[in-house]
Amino acid sequence: MKRHRPLRSGLAALLLGAALCAGLPAAESRAAPPDAATLDYRLAARELAPGVFVVEGANDDFSPANGCNIINTGFIVTDAGVLVVNTGPSRRYGEQLRALVERTAGKPVAQVLHLNLHPDYFLGNQAFADVPRLATAATASGMAAEAKAYEDNLYRMCGDWMRGTEALLPDRTVQPGRLVLGGREFELREYEGHTASDLVLVDRASGVVFAGGLVFADRIPTTPHARIEPWLKSLDALGALPFRAMVPSHGPVVHDARGIGQTRAYLRWLDESFRSAAEQGWDMAELLAQPIPPEFRDWAALRTEYVRNVAHLYPRYEQRALGKGR
């Protein structure tokens, strides 16, 4: 067995990975490009079922070209107003989303629901300051802890698109279970793995499921708060749900189990690859130099996200391997 070397910092891994992954193909966004000159996101609502809409972001990584808009938000029309699912990455996005929602639905926004703690789920909240904003207690706590770093990081990555954005946290706690709004019945299911609290919204009337960050379609999963073992268990539970359409937060809407299967396959590969590398005493540089399996190479955000996967997760595998060796 090779001698284990000191753990590298996440920053060092990112810098090194950027060089090692320079030859990988760039991800291409399938979303219509925003207008950087006017800071117009050019948001469009697509109806998946009667009264159920998705607003699709770029299947890509955060960048000035997409205004940090890489998330699929959504909204559902009820007799009591509109339920908005996530509010996007910036104040400007939130304002444009709300205008689109009310223009499309012809009704005011009644509630906002946040599916997890990541920045593009709630940094548009300033546009929804006058309506209830719901999240689980764990998600709200995580948002509060990360909010300032999120503001700084997204401004660094996307510049003027983020002007005036200040985190506005959820103001109400929601529990998993039945949620009724305007005669429309929803089911909220709470899982874990992508984050400590991954909320999934099921619209019972249409069979549309908003799966949040548990499912990635044609995209490398993000992992800053991830734990692979519970995430895989959550995917198994999610796969048992009947649905007509599934909206991942990142990647295209799917009408079958493809997104679940892709995410599961990638996480299993990460787990096996990282465990094997740690047991052989590899450092991050050696791990990053290994080839990516062909099935994942065309997925969006590979150039940046896999490097982050290594920085986020590999130190844990190294620590476990070191513990076994004592």
| Per-residue pLDDT tens over the stretch 249-260 | 999 999 999 999
Q: Is residue 3 part of a domain?
A: no
How many other C-beta atoms lie within 10 A of the C-beta of residue 65? Answer: 14
Helix axes 302-325, 258-279, angle to 10 degrees: 40
Cα–Cα separations (whole angstroms), residue 92 to 40, 46, 65, 88, 128:
8, 20, 15, 9, 12
Mean pLDDT, the chain, as a whole number? Answer: 91
175 pLDDT higher than 80 = yes
pLDDT single digits (tens) 200-215 = 999 999 999 999 999 9
Q: How many domains does the chain have?
A: 1
Residue 308 token pair: 């982050």
- Please answer whether residues 76 and 132 qualify as being in contact, where contact means their C-beta atoms are separated by less than 8 angstroms: no
Q: Is residue 5 part of a domain?
A: no
- Quickly state the pLDDT bin for 325 (edges 50, 70, 90): low
Q: Is residue 191 part of a domain?
A: yes
- Quickly state the pLDDT bin for 189 (edges 50, 70, 90): very high
Nearest to 17 by CA among 220, 275, 319: 220
Question: Of 29-43, 61-75, 80-94, which gets the smallest average pLDDT?
Answer: 29-43
Q: Is residue 2 part of a domain?
A: no
Per the model's pLDDT, the better-predicted residue between 56 and 24 turns out to be 56
- pLDDT recorded at residue 18: 39
- Quickly state the pLDDT bin for 88 (edges 50, 70, 90): very high
14 pLDDT higher than 50 = no
- pLDDT recorded at residue 22: 35
- pLDDT recorded at residue 178: 97
Query: Three-state DSSP class for 126?
Result: helix
Q: Is residue 241 packed enough to be buried (19+ CB in 10 Å), middle (13-18) or exposed (0-12)?
A: middle
39 pLDDT higher than 70 = yes
Per the model's pLDDT, the better-predicted residue between 15 and 47 turns out to be 47
Cα–Cα separations (whole angstroms), residue 314 to 24, 192, 216, 224, 272:
21, 20, 20, 12, 11
Percentage of residues in the chain with pLDDT exceeding 90?
88
H/E stretch holding 266 reads helix 258-279
Separation between Cα atoms, residue 249 and residue 262, nearest integer Å: 14
Mean pLDDT score, 29-52:
88
Q: Is residue 316 part of a domain?
A: yes
pLDDT single digits (tens) 153-166 = 999 999 999 999 99
CATH number at residue 143: 3.60.15.10
Nearest to 176 by CA among 108, 237, 258, 128: 237
Q: Is residue 238 part of a domain?
A: yes
What range does the domain containing 18 cover?
10-325
pLDDT single digits (tens) 105-156 = 999 999 999 999 999 999 999 999 999 999 999 999 999 999 999 999 999 9
- Please answer whether residues 62 and 71 qualify as being in contact, where contact means their C-beta atoms are separated by less than 8 angstroms: no
- pLDDT recorded at residue 19: 36
Q: Is residue 61 part of a domain?
A: yes
Separation between Cα atoms, residue 308 and residue 305, nearest integer Å: 5
- pLDDT recorded at residue 5: 36
pLDDT single digits (tens) 214-244 = 999 999 999 999 999 999 999 999 999 999 9
Q: Is residue 4 part of a domain?
A: no
- Quickly state the pLDDT bin for 323 (edges 50, 70, 90): confident
- pLDDT recorded at residue 23: 34
